[in-house]
Amino acid sequence: MSAMDSPPPEHSSERSPREKIEKVKRIEREFGIPIPGEILPAEQWVKTAIKHLPAAGPLAWDEVFGADYALKQGVVLDLGCGNGRSTLWHAVVQPQFCYLGVDVLPVVIRYATRRANQRGLGQIRFAVIGGKELLENYIADGSVAKICVYHPQPYYEERLIGKRLVTPEFLAMAHRALVPGGELILQTDHPAYWSYMESVVPTFFTLKTLPGPWPDAPRGRTRREILATKRGLPVFRGVATRRDAIDSAAAFRAAASMPVPTFNADRRLLELDREEGAFKP
Nearest distance in Å: CB 229, ligand SAM? 11
**Is there binding between residue 238 and ligand SAM (CB under 6 A)?**
no
**Is there binding between residue 153 and ligand SAM (CB under 6 A)?**
yes
Residue 63, SS3?
helix
Task: Please select the residue that binds ligand SAM; options are 53, 105, 179, 233, rule is CB under 6 A.
Answer: 105
**Is there binding between residue 116 and ligand SAM (CB under 6 A)?**
no
What span, in angstroms and rounded, lies between the C-alpha atoms of 45 and 159? 43
Q: Which is nearer to ligand SAM, 79 or 171 (CB)?
A: 79
Task: Please select the residue that binds ligand SAM; options are 75, 79, 88, 185, rule is CB under 6 A.
Answer: 79
Q: Cα 273 to chain center, whole Å? A: 18
Q: Which of residues 170-229 bind ligand SAM (CB under 6 A)?
A: 222-225
Residue 234, SS3?
coil
Residue ranges in 15-149 assigned as alpha helix (H): 17-26, 61-65, 68-71, 85-93, 106-118, 131-138
Closest CA to 63 of 105, 114, 100: 100
What span, in angstroms and rounded, lies between the C-alpha atoms of 254 and 243? 13
Write out the H or E segment, with its range, that includes residue 186. strand 178-188
Number of chain positions touching ligand SAM (CB under 6 A): 21
Q: Are 93 and 198 spatial neighbours (Cβ–Cβ below 8 Å)?
A: no
**Per-residue contact track with ligand SAM, 122 to 141, x per CB under 6 A?**
--------xxx---------
Residue 40 is classified by DSSP as P
Task: Please select the residue that binds ligand SAM; options are 82, 168, 182, 238, rule is CB under 6 A.
Answer: 82
Q: Which is nearer to ligand SAM, 25 or 52 (CB)?
A: 52
Task: Please select the residue that binds ligand SAM; options are 65, 150, 194, 205, rule is CB under 6 A.
Answer: 150
State the residue number with the nearest CB to ligand SAM. Answer: 82
Nearest distance in Å: CB 280, ligand SAM? 8
Task: Please select the residue that binds ligand SAM; options are 59, 103, 174, 175, rule is CB under 6 A.
Answer: 103
Residue ranges in the chain assigned as alpha helix (H): 17-26, 61-65, 68-71, 85-93, 106-118, 131-138, 168-177, 191-200, 223-230, 248-256, 270-279
Residues that bind ligand SAM (CB under 6 A): 79-82, 86, 102-105, 108, 130-132, 150-151, 153, 165, 222-225
